[in-house]
Each structure stands twice: as C-alpha cells, then as structure tokens.
Structure 1
C-alpha cells in the first residue's frame, strides 16, 4: 500500500507541470482532515504586514487571560531568515522538483514499532495517521509558489504538496490536543522545518515550554510533562528533556547533520496539571464546575517564520463547550489571524490565516464542562500538590530534619562533657609537646611556636644558640643523632640544616625559609591538637550526611530531569568542599583579627575563593531552574548546616580534659620559687641545667618563663653560673634571659606593624643615639 501510494504521488507530481492548470482547479482543493491550512505566500487574500502590532481589542474572549513572550524582534522590521537564494533559470523549477521528489519519496524508511502508549479514558486513544488511507484515492494536489528564488517542497496532509522558499522556516506546524478524562492532556505535534543549504551542522529543532503557566485568575501552575515518543523523518529518536533559562527544552536532534531540504519532526507529550478548574456560577449550569485550557500551539520562541499552523482540540465524551478563542502575535502586540471551526463531535479546530513572524505564536483557549465525568484514579489533590510544591516541601522537611538531628546531637555531646561518667586519667609522658600546649591555649601559630620547638631541640642537645662576629644570632647543629627528637622536630631540623650545613643564620635573607617552616609547623600542630585534644563523632556526623544524601536522591527523582538534577547537586557538593575549606580559613583570620597583620594572605584567600563561589552560585541557579528558587536556597542552607556542625560537633577529648584539669598544678610548680629540689642537687650543676632546659619550653608555652628562670638565677652563687650550655652568646643569665633571647629571634620575622618596635632592645648592640 505504501509503495503504491508513493508511486501514485510521484506520477501526479510529474503530471502537474503547469501553473495555469492548478489555477483552474484551485477552488476544488479541500483538506478534510482536522484542520484546513492552505494559505501560501502568494495567496489572493488581502496583504498586510505581519510585523505591525495589532490592536489589543482584537483579542476577543481571551482578553486579560493570556501571557505572551517577547515579540520585540518582529516589530517594524523583517526577520533575518537568511539562506541561499538563487535566480531561477528556465529549467530551475523542474530541477528543484526533481531533487525534492528524490528527497521526499526516494528513500525507504525502516518500519519500527513505536512504544505502546498508556491507556486513558478517551474515545480517541490513538492518533490518526498523517495521511489517512482514504486519501490515496484522492487526487494529489500541487501548489506552485510564485517566488523568484530557489524553492523546495513541503507536504500538507492529507493530499497536498506545496512549493516553499528554500530558506529556513517552518511551512507546517500542527498540534493535536486530546483532553483525557483523568485531567491530563495528550499533545502530538507535527512540525516541518526547511533546512537551507547554508545550515551545515543543523541536527534538529528545540521545542521550549514555559516552566509555569498562569490561569485567568493569575494563579501560577507548574508545567509537568512526559515525552511518550518522538521521530525525525518517521525514524524514532530519543528526545532529550533539558532545563533551560526559558523553562523546559525538548531537543529533537539526530546524531548527524541533516541534509538541506524539508524534514518532518513528530513528538507526543503527556501534560499533567495543565487544565484549571473553576466553579460554575450560572444558575442553570449543566455542571457545578467548568474547565479551561490555555495552550500555546506554536510557542513564541522560534526565530524563524511559521507560515502555516493549526491545532485540533478533542474533548472527552459528552462535554459541553462554553467558549473558545485564540490569539496570534506576542508580547509586543496581538492579532486575530486565525479561524475556529467546531465539528459535530463538539471538537475544535484552530487555523492560522496568516504567517507568524519570528517570536510570534498562536495560542488557543477553550472552556467546557464534563456532564458525565469518568472516575479519576490519579492526579488528585495530593498529586497536584506534589507536582506544584513537591521539591520545595521535601527540601524543607530534609533541612529541618538534618538541622534538628545535629542540634540534638550537639546538646547530647555537650551534656556528656559536662557530666562525665568516669574520672579522666592523668596525662602521661609523651601525651603532648610544649608547642601543642601553646596552640591549645592560644589557638594560633606565631614565631613563639617555632621558638618553643627550638628550645626543646636545644634542651635535647641537638642544637645550640650562638652568634657570629657580626652579633648575628645563629642556630648551630651539635649532633647528627635525631632519635630523641619528635617527628615535627625532625622535619624542622631537615628544613634548617640542609645537606652538610651545620649552622643557620637568623637573618632577613632566611626569612622565606623560616616562613615555610612556620607553614609546616602550623599544619602539624593543628593536626596533633585535633588528634590529642579533641574528638570528632564520626558516626553521628556521617549519619546526618546519609540522611542528606537520601534527601538529594528523593528530590532528584521528583524533578522533571532526575539525572541532570542529581548531577547538579553532586557538582554543587564538590564545589562546596574547597569553598568551605577556604571559607573557614577566612573566618579564622577575621575571628582572630590576624588578617590586618597579613593582608596579603587574606587577599590571596579571597581571590582563591571567588571562582568557587561563582561556580556554586551558577550551579544553584541552574538547580533553581530545574526545581524552584526556594528549593535551591534550602539546599544551600543544608550545605551550610553540615559545614557548621562539622566544626561544632568536635568536642574536647578525655586527654584534653585531663590536661586542662591538671594544668593549674603544673603552672604552680613552674612559678614556685621553692629551692628545696635545687638544694638536693647543689653538687650536680649539670643536672640542674638539664632540669631548667627540660621544663623551659613548657614554661614559655604557659608564659611562665620569667618566673621559672628567676628560680634558677636566685639559686646561682655567682653570675651566669647556671646559664644553659646550649646558649653560647653574650646575653646575661637573668630573669629576663628568655625574653631577651626571643626578642633577638623575632627580629628576623616581618614586623606586624611598620611602626611597631621590638618588645625589648637588643642586648648585642647598643641602640644608636640620635
């Protein structure tokens, strides 16, 4: 049957070689399908410019109930449709027709069974074929176009072939709207698109739908659609549903560039929540409620003209139609270039009577009542609520649940810390180092931290403090044995004494090396502090993460774009991780007020964080397009909540509590001036010096170095008798010994403030008198 029809069509086309013959039969041409679309560029109707805005009074019954997109590109100027235009030669028409016949009828397409459609309550559950079987008995009609340029052919169902300009445009746009008894609508769109020779990489068209639509009362409803099937040139394809700034994008693309000519696109959608219901206030109303559908047949997003368009609206059985209307144009102006026809079955057909300019469209409206409505098994109030507010509601519930969980966990951990069940054990030897203790008390890394580490290395005999002939403070390596050093002290030694070097001058030339050593110390001390002084409830924290992941998967499944939404959320989490890391550092700088001391570092952190912040903002904006703005805000709040409690759930460990509880006793020992212990060691001067060096780093960490040194100075029988062996400089051994040594050590580091002077003058050189 198909081969016979193609043969018959080709025969009729070859026989139709005269425009005069067509003119004689023009009045007999009829298209008795759902809609009549026969207007052409050379129509005999009265011409008027499609680029001038019609009056608002022409909207008729639809006045005030429709919302249109921007139509500014079609006002007072013709669209730039471009393309390859050639002067027609004597046999150009015949060559064009021959090429078009080969394109339209030369290929044999494979027949593939389309996926089965779901069963709905409808008397018309399947689409009528584009060309009905009876149409093959009718005479094929050919419509010539009086156009002085290259042309191609387009097929108009059921039995017409027309010439159209070989320029990019849509010669035929037809929409079949079937209203199902369950409240959904099934829409099948048939679109013919001319691909001009200049379009080399054209792979398909994109259909756009607004994310929301507004009814006559101004109430906003969310668009919810499912793609049932799609094809290009009668070959099934997988249509892609994508989020877009305009709302929802349906991509009807092939894997290869399409050849110049006319291509046929067909797609079937299922729309939920598209029909609005209103109370019927008429006294003699046939039904207590009536329904209304506003449908944008073509949409207003096309940047090319649409020359022929129409729609058929099929209602449920025994429906009473109250009113119907339509509108053409766009935001810049509306018109009435349409006609409406109602058949015996109470169904409507809408026909475009004049071409649409770019960014103009055809929108139809109808309201009706169902006298005997069928039972509704889905899309009740709960279903509609989920469609409208499902992602926001689930996001709100997830955020409140995770927030309340973490708050309850935080209070529980704090309560356990305040009322411990068992007494904490005393700290043992090796539980902490002086530098970690200093960080635990100060919560910041300063040159004093490195000074404490160096004092500990000196007390173990690894290095000594000395000075050269220029009175420059030196660190001198005394031995290669590192077995008594801690891992951090070993790394510091490796940074100070490289290769065969045995001394390190504390000069401004080595300031950069010292800064790098400080960075290494900061990482190690913070890590050791968190390990020994705090504990993190991994189980409780990751359970909250698990709940957040379940919420993300659930929200993604409720979106129109499940995979895209999930990947967007996953990408947002990946970007948020470094953002939270650098954001935490900036927060610490601001909280500790150290950013004023190191503005360059603060600016550097801000510059690093900006790309991540911009990327996260873009991802959340994209996520809001897929769901709602409030859903995106709640997801961001969920990320902030997790990041905040990651820091807040960290609590003091048993060791940390033990150190804090027993630190007062140790401070009392360091500040005491009792020399009983020293009297028992009077004859062992070396042991007294070792005792001084052993506790000196802790005394500096606790800011008791002056009292600790005073104790040994007072016990000395003569000046500098108990000066430590690891110091070989000129500073006298007094109670200010350590303070003066640190002042010399600190000089190598950049000043906190250019106008700030040293804590104490140098003991090596006298200050220059003015």
Structure 2
C-alpha cells in the first residue's frame, strides 16, 4: 500500500469517528393549549440521541413550580402530570421535589437504554401561569428552559389560545438567561394560533422563550379574594417565619425590660476604702463585668500575686533563670479563701518556691484554673442572667430552625441531613467563638473552617435561604444572652461603691483637696494597700503618679523615700518593683499556655442555587430568554 493511500485511509477513519453521533436533544417540540379556565395544557416532545455517556437510563426534566415575584413574595404553580412515554410506550416516572422545582425522572434504574435515537413525550397541566393586564391577557413562557446540560439542535413551540382570541403581540427570545436575541422564525400566526421555531442550535444552558398577548375576557380571571388566599398559602412559610422572628424579638425585649436592665444606678460619692470582704479580684471582675480582655485570667492572677506580695505572703524575686515565687508565712485569719486555694495550687508548703521562665509551667495553669472557678461565685452573687427565660427562647429558636429546614424541601432525607449538619455547624461555631475569645486562635481557625463546611453542605441540601434564616434566629438568641446579663441589687450597690472608690484613686494631685478634702494623707502603707485595687480598676497609672508626686515634693518621711516594697526582692529599687508588678501578666501568660502541636486542616465548602421567575410585558419585546413561567431544564441519567 502506497504512503498516500495509507494517509487517505487514516483521514477517512478520523472523519468517520468525528461524524459519530453525539448525545444531544435533536428536537424539542412543545404544544401548549391555553384553556378558558386559565390552566395551560403542555405537551413536550423531546427527541434525544443516547450514546451511554450522559443518557444511560433515561432523561430527567426539572419544571419550576414556585417562582419569586418582583416584590420578593413566592408564587406556586401546581403541576399535574398526565402522561409520559418513550418511543410511544408508557415510561416509568419518578417525581422528586426540589427547592423550587419538580424533577421528573423518566426511566428505570434497572433498565439501560439502547444507544441511538429515542423520543420522550411529557404531557402535564399547570395553573397560575398567565399574566393579567388591564385589557389583555399574556402568556410569557420559557419553552425549553435554560438549564439543560445537553445542546438542543432545534426547538419549536405551538400555542393554541381559546376560541375567539386574536393575538395582538408576540415575541420570542433565544440564548443564555437574560439574552434578548431573537434567533427564531414565525411559522404561523393566525387567529388564536401561533407557531415559532428556532433558526440556530441552542448550546447547553441556552433556551427558547415565547411571549404573546390577546384580548382580555376569554380566560377566567381569579378574584382578588382568591388571589389573596393563594398568595397567603404560597407564602405561609414566610409569614410563619416573620411571626417567629417577631415573637422571639418581642419575648426577649419584654424579658430584658423586666429583668435585663437591672437596678437603676445609685448615688456615687467618693470612697477612700472599699467595704470589708471585697478583694481586688472581686473589684476588678464586677467593675469590668467579667474577665473582659482577660479570658485566661492571667491579668487577674498577676494582680492577686501583687496583692499577696505586698502583704508578705508571696515573695517575687528576679534572677538569671527568671522570676522566682516563694511562699511566705500566711495569716490564716486574714487571707481570703480564693487566695488560699490559688496559693495551695501554686506552692503547697511554706518556704516552697516556683521559678517562672520562658516555658510552660503546669502548676501555674492549675492556679489559673482555680482562680477561674473562684469567679463563678462572684458572678452568681453580683449578676443575673435570666437563664430560665433565655433558655425558653433558645428552645423556641431551635424548634423553629428545625421546622424551617424541614419545610424548605420536599426531600425528607435531605432535610434530616441538613438538620444534623446545621446543629454540628452551630456547635463548631460556638467552639470557634470560645477559642477566638480565649486567645486560642490556632484551635479556633480550624473549627471555623469545619463550621463553614457544615453550613455550606446544609445550604446545598435545603438552600441558602433556610440556613441564613436559622443563623439569624440564633444570632438573636446570642445577642439576647449578652443583653440579659445585668447586675443584681447587691451587684449594683457594689458597682456604685467601686465607681466612687475609683474616682478617688484616679484623682490628680491638684484635685485631691478640692474634690476629696477628707482624703487620707499619702504614705507608703496607703499606696501599697490600694495598688492592687488600682490595678484591678485600671487606674494604677494615676494612682502611682500621685505617689510619685508626693515623693518628689518630699512630703513623705525620709525613711520612706527609698522604700523597699514588702514581698519584693531587696535587690530591687522601688521603681523596678512596680515595673515588675505591672508586667507580671506577660510572664504569667508565657508560663501558663502549653505549646501547640502543628496541625493541618482540610476544608470543605458547599453552594446552593435559587431558580426564580417573574413576569413582564414581554410580548412587546420587554422580555428575555429564561424569563416568564415554565423553564427549568434537565439532562440525562
């Protein structure tokens, strides 16, 4: 065989392979009959070429049965399937409810199609598809839909109106959704009949839409009362959603008004001492209404150490290895219970020591845990959270959220999976919030990724709207939890006393005599006694400036000028000792946090889609491909 002949033979084989039939919709012919009752009888004849790639057992057809109107409300369009055939014989049909559409799956999972051409025919009836204007009625119909995964070689539509109708305007649209291209031809337009056909092939995701108008009076129009009832029924879920949101907000607002506001603020007068039994820990916790910006309790622990050092029960000494904490002799009657527990967790015996360097120290972490347990009693005695009422609202939100997820789809299995994914996502989200507010960013970020993955998967099952609505409900619950916390009567009284005491500590030197004429004279003992409280209330800088000014003026006794703070090493100057007290929290932070092991995280994401339709005066050219009723799409399976 010559070389030229061999090349020619290969070219012929290649061309034959290229001419091999590919899967497509060869013809998409639709016949529509508008009945005097306002219903539309639709017959779709879909001729396909099956090659066992996408079309293996049959095809599916997604037909929208719920649309979003221009005002945001929903409109349902009931569909009644009359018949389904393949190649002239009845075909098995499985119905599946999607978020906004009904999926008709033609074929059987046990039967594979033979390769080659097949003709499917669907006949169904739909209601609420017409648009009613002042003098005309209009049909705006997406003939093929814009969501087919297969190309459409040729499409046509025949519309038959009621007897006596005269078509006043007609227009067609082709292309992708939103396109106003008019690649079609009018085959017939006479009296009450209209026939259109495309003049080019439609690619996957392209569609063919038709709109026509005729004189009013030939089709029964629903009354306003019927339209209102239908509108309410179609939007019942939204009405219940608004009622649930409004009810939850009103409930929490009433509870906040009755319990969440707390007692009114009392008269604030300067105080030079706090009531007995109020520790720096209690003062700081109540004044800041919690451990704000100190979630780990490190700042509170450093203030407690400063107080214990000033009273001589804990020695702070700096050397080359770090900071050495040594437990001194403790006055059993004077020490507070929370201080005793923290000291016992830190150093069990008198004279024992602990060195804080640049590494993790488990005993310090235990002391922090003991301290955080101690503040629970302070919280309980000084603040109220209306927990019972808040939990009732949270339970209502949980039940409502589950109902929203279940009613957002007709697929029971998808709804069930979405509920569990949503609950897991919310749990992981709460864990993320806890980690991020407690400085555990390395743990919080992976949890955040997993939470978003769960929410995304849930949105893919039931739609993004339902997931966002659930998140909004729980956002109300979270905000309510924050607002419900208010001081008790005892807590309000202590807050007023703390404000008066804080005002005294923060007064500048020149204001002491003017605003607090009875203020005690500054001394070393006075400064030391109030320093931990000043640190707890955030005015240690002003308090120390007052003390420094007295030193400069020479009003302190000479023996006090170069004093050595009790509990601090004798090798430090007074300024160094105070600097150590102020920066102690940084040392404690380093020693209380265990090192994190490296980790890697895989993330997942989900997405959702929302099919919606709306009507317009499209018969005069104001529409587009993909607009109007009908539509949807399909593919092979």
Q: TM above 0.5, one fold? A: yes
Partner Cα separation in structure 1 for residue 225 and residue 126 of structure 2: 11
Task: Please name the residue that 2:105 is paired with.
Answer: 252
Residue 380 (structure 1) aligns with: 226
Could you report, residue by residue, the CA deviation over 1:454-497 in whole angstroms, capped at 9, with x for unpaired residues?
A: 47888999x84265886964224689xx9x99689757755x56
1:224 to 66, 70, 76: 76
Residue 187 (structure 2) pairs with residue 339 (structure 1):
yes
Residue in 2 aligned with 1:8? none
- What is the Cα deviation at residue 544 of structure 1? 3.5
C-alpha distance in 1, partners of 2:323/2:73? Answer: 77
Q: Figure out how many residues of one structure are paired with residues of the other and give that number.
A: 524
Find the aligned partners of 2:147 and 2:31 in 1 and give their Cα distance: 20
Query: What is residue 357 of structure 1 aligned with on the other side?
Result: 202
| Structure 1 residues 198 and 637: alpha-carbon distance in aligned structure 2, compared to 1, 3 A threshold | closer
Higher RCO, 1 or 2 (CA under 8 Å, sep at least 6)?
2
Alpha-carbon distance, 1:417 to partner: 2.5
CA separation of 1:187/1:455 partners in 2, compared to 1, >3 Å: closer, same or farther?
same
CA gap of 1:535–1:562, structure 2 versus 1, over 3 A, is farther
Superposition pairs of residues 440-459 of structure 1, within 5 angstroms: 440-442=286-288, 443-445=292-294, 447-454=298-305
Match of 1:277 in 2: 132
SS of aligned partner of 2:98:
strand
Unmatched runs of 5 consecutive residues or more in structure 2:
1-10, 267-273, 506-517, 547-555, 591-637
Matches within 5 A, 1:687-766: 727=567, 729-730=569-570, 739=578, 742=581, 745=584, 748=587
Give 1:647 shift. Answer: 0.2
3-state SS in 1 of match to 2:203: coil
- Quote the Cα distance in structure 1 between the aligned partners of 2:85 and 2:456: 34
Is residue 174 of structure 2 the alignment partner of residue 329 of structure 1? yes
In structure 2, do the counterparts of structure 1 residues 549 and 402 end up closer, same or farther at CA, with 3 Å as the change threshold? same
Residue 419 to residue 464, structure 1, CA distance change in 2 (3 Å): closer
CA drift at 1:277: 0.6
- Aligned residue among 487, 498, 501 for 1:652: 487
Q: Deviations over 1:541-570 (max 9, x none)?
A: 244445545665676687575866897688
SS in 2 for 1:358: coil
Residues 338, 523 of structure 1: CA spacing in aligned structure 2 closer, same or farther, 3 A cutoff? farther
Query: 252-261 or 604-613, which moves further after superposition?
Result: 604-613
**CA separation of 1:540 and 1:232: change in aligned 2, threshold 3 A:** farther
Match of 2:6 in 1: none
Range 611-620 or range 449-458, more displaced: 611-620
Distance 1:512 1:239, change over 3 A: farther
SS at match of 2:284: helix
Q: Is the contact made by 2:74 and 2:234 (CA closer than 8 Å) also made in structure 1?
A: yes
Do the aligned residues in 1 keep the contact of 2:46 with 2:119 (CA within 8 Å)? yes
Instruction: State the shift of 1:276 in Å.
Output: 0.4
* Cα distance, 1:182 vs structure 2: 5.3
1:168: Cα distance to partner? Answer: 0.6
CA displacement at 1:324 relative to structure 2: 7.2
Q: Could you report, residue by residue, the CA deviation over 1:212-270 in whole angstroms, capped at 9, with x for unpaired residues?
A: 599xxx99995634454586854534333435xxx757362754684452556565655
Larger deviation: 694-703 or 466-475?
Answer: 694-703
Determine helix, strand or coil for the equivalent of 1:240: strand
Correspondence list, 1:572-651, <5 A: 575=425, 579=429, 611=449, 638-651=473-486
3-state SS of 2:479 partner? helix
Question: Structure 1: where are the runs of 5+ without partners?
Answer: 1-84, 89-146, 152-164, 281-289, 421-426, 590-600, 675-688, 708-713, 752-770
- Which moved further from structure 2: 434-443 or 370-379? 370-379
Structure 1 residues 352 and 552: alpha-carbon distance in aligned structure 2, compared to 1, 3 A threshold: same
Q: 2:141 aligns with which of 286, 289, 295?
A: 295
8 A Cα contact 2:425 2:452, kept in partner? no
Answer yes or no: is the 8 Å Cα contact 1:231–1:267 preserved in 2: yes
Distance in 2 (alpha carbons) for counterparts of 1:358 and 1:242: 24
Other-structure match for 1:505? 355
Distance in 1 (CA, whole Å) between partners of 2:417 and 2:352 is 56
Structure 1 residue 185 corresponds to structure 2 residue 40: yes
| Correspondence 1:541 to 2:390 | yes
CA contact (8 A) 1:208 1:301 kept: no
* Aligned equivalents of 1:470, 1:305: Cα separation in 2: 79
The 8 Å contact of residues 326 and 364 in structure 1, kept in 2 or not, is answered as yes
- Kindly indicate whether the alpha-carbon contact (under 8 Å) linking 1:556 and 1:562 is maintained by their aligned counterparts in 2: no
Give the Cα separation in 1 of the matches to 2:166 and 2:409. 32
Cα deviation for residue 659 of structure 1 reads: 4.1
2:249 corresponding residue in structure 1: 403
CA distance 1:341–1:221, shift in 2 (3 Å): farther
Q: Do the aligned partners of 2:32 and 2:159 also contact (CA within 8 Å) in 1?
A: yes
Change (3 A) 1:237 1:527: farther
Does the residue aligned with 2:228 lie in a helix, a strand or coil?
helix
Q: Secondary structure at the match of 1:238?
A: strand
Distance 1:488 1:559 in 2: 55
**Match of 1:465?**
315
Deviation at 1:169, TM superposition (A): 1.4
Change over 3 Å in CA distance of 1:659–1:201 after alignment to 2 = farther
Within 2, Cα distance between the matches of 1:456 and 1:378? Answer: 77
Q: Is the CA contact 1:488–1:521 (under 8 Å) kept in the aligned structure 2?
A: no
Deviations 1:31-84 (A, max 9, x none): xxxxxxxxxxxxxxxxxxxxxxxxxxxxxxxxxxxxxxxxxxxxxxxxxxxxxx
Counterpart position of 1:418: 264
| SS, match of residue 279 in structure 1 | coil
Are the counterparts in 2 of residues 537 and 650 from structure 1 also a CA contact under 8 Å? yes
TM-score by length of 2: 0.58
TM-score, normalised by the number of residues in structure 1: 0.50
Deviation at residue 383 of structure 1 after TM alignment: 3.8
Match of 1:439 in 2: 285
Q: 1:136-215 counterparts in 2 under 5 A?
A: 166-179=21-34, 183-199=38-54, 204-207=59-62, 209=64
Residues in 2 aligned to 1:329 and 1:469: alpha-carbon distance in whole angstroms: 84
- Looking at structure 2, the residues matched to 567 and 641 of structure 1 have their Cα atoms a distance apart, in angstroms, of 24
Counterpart Cα distance in 2 of 1:232 and 1:457: 89
Does the Cα contact within 8 Å between 2:168 and 2:215 map onto a contact in 1? no
Question: 1:532 is matched with which residue: 381, 401, 406?
Answer: 381
Mapped to 2, the partners of 1:538 and 1:565 lie a distance apart of 31
Distance 1:257 1:477, change over 3 A: farther
Q: Give RMSD over aligned pairs.
A: 6.4
What residue number does 1:767 align with? none
Q: Find the counterpart in structure 2 of residue 59 from structure 1.
A: none
Provide closer, same or farther for how the CA distance between residues 651 and 226 of structure 1 changes in structure 2, counting only shifts above 3 A: same
